Amino acid sequence: MNNKENMENTTKAVIGKIISVIILIILLYEAFKQPENDYQVHNMTTFAMDTIIDFSLCFNGDENIFIDVEKEIRRYENMFSTTIEESEVSNINKNSGTEYTNLSDETFEMLEYALSMSYDTKGAFSVTIAPLVDLWGIGKSTENKVPSNEEILNARERINYENLVLDYSKKSALLLEDNMSIDLGGVAKGFIADEITELLRDNNINNGWFSLGGNISVMGNKEDGSNWKIAVRNPLDENDYIGILEVSDKFIVTSGGYQRFFTSDGKDYHHIIDQETGFPAENGLISVTIISKSGIKADILSTALFVMGFDKAVEYWKNDGEIEIIFITDTGNVIATKGASEYFDFENKDNDFIYEVIS
Ligand code: AMP
Ligand code: MG
Q: How far is CA 114 from CA 128, 161, 184, 208, 263, in A?
A: 10, 10, 8, 27, 30
Residue 34, pLDDT above cutoff 60: no
Report CA(303)–ligand 2 centroid distance (Å): 4
Residue 264, pLDDT above cutoff 90: no
176 vs 237, residue with greater confidence: 176
Q: How far is CA 7 from CA 18, 19, 20, 247, in A?
A: 16, 18, 20, 69
Task: Return the ligand 1 atom nearest residue 274 CA.
Answer: 19
Task: Return the ligand 1 atom nearest residue 183 CA.
Answer: 12
| 272 pocket-lining for ligand 1 (C-beta < 6 Å) | yes
The pLDDT value given to residue 13: 64
String of DSSP letters for 113-128: HHHHHHHHTTTSS-TT
Q: How confident is the model at residue 37 (pLDDT cuts 50, 70, 90)?
A: low
pLDDT tens, residue by residue, 248-261 = 999 999 999 888 88
| 278 pocket-lining for ligand 1 (C-beta < 6 Å) | no
Q: How confident is the model at residue 15 (pLDDT cuts 50, 70, 90)?
A: low
Cα angle 39, 248, 125 (rounded to 5 degrees) comes to 130
- Residue ranges of the alpha helices (H) in the chain? 3-32, 64-80, 88-94, 105-120, 130-136, 149-157, 188-202, 295-308, 310-320, 338-342
Task: Return the ligand 1 atom nearest residue 300 CA.
Answer: 3
| 126 pocket-lining for ligand 1 (C-beta < 6 Å) | yes
The pLDDT value given to residue 228: 95
Report CA(264)–ligand 2 centroid distance (Å): 25
Which protein residue has the closest C-alpha to ligand 1 atom 2? 255
The pLDDT value given to residue 50: 87
pTM for the whole thing?
0.89
Average pLDDT of 193-217?
A: 96
Which protein residue has the closest C-alpha to ligand 1 atom 5? 186
Q: How confident is the model at residue 4 (pLDDT cuts 50, 70, 90)?
A: low
Q: How confident is the model at residue 2 (pLDDT cuts 50, 70, 90)?
A: low
Q: Which amino acid does the sequence have at 53? A: I
Q: How far is CA 127 from CA 54, 63, 88, 117, 159, in A?
A: 27, 36, 15, 9, 9
3-state secondary structure 170-195: CCEEEECCCCCCCCCCCCHHHHHHHH
Return the percentage of the chain with pLDDT > 70, whole number.
88
The pLDDT value given to residue 143: 80
The pLDDT value given to residue 21: 62
pLDDT tens, residue by residue, 313-338 = 999 999 999 999 999 999 999 999 99
Q: How confident is the model at residue 341 (pLDDT cuts 50, 70, 90)?
A: very high
Q: How far is CA 242 from the centre of its chain?
A: 20
Which protein residue has the closest C-alpha to ligand 1 atom 8? 186
Non-local (6+) Cβ contacts of 7 within 8 A are none
| 135 pocket-lining for ligand 1 (C-beta < 6 Å) | no
| Closest CA relative to residue 217, chosen from 272, 111, 298, 288 | 298
The pLDDT value given to residue 346: 83
> Rounded to whole angstroms, how far apart are CA atoms 250 and 6?
73
Average pLDDT of 58-77?
A: 95
Average pLDDT of 4-18?
A: 63
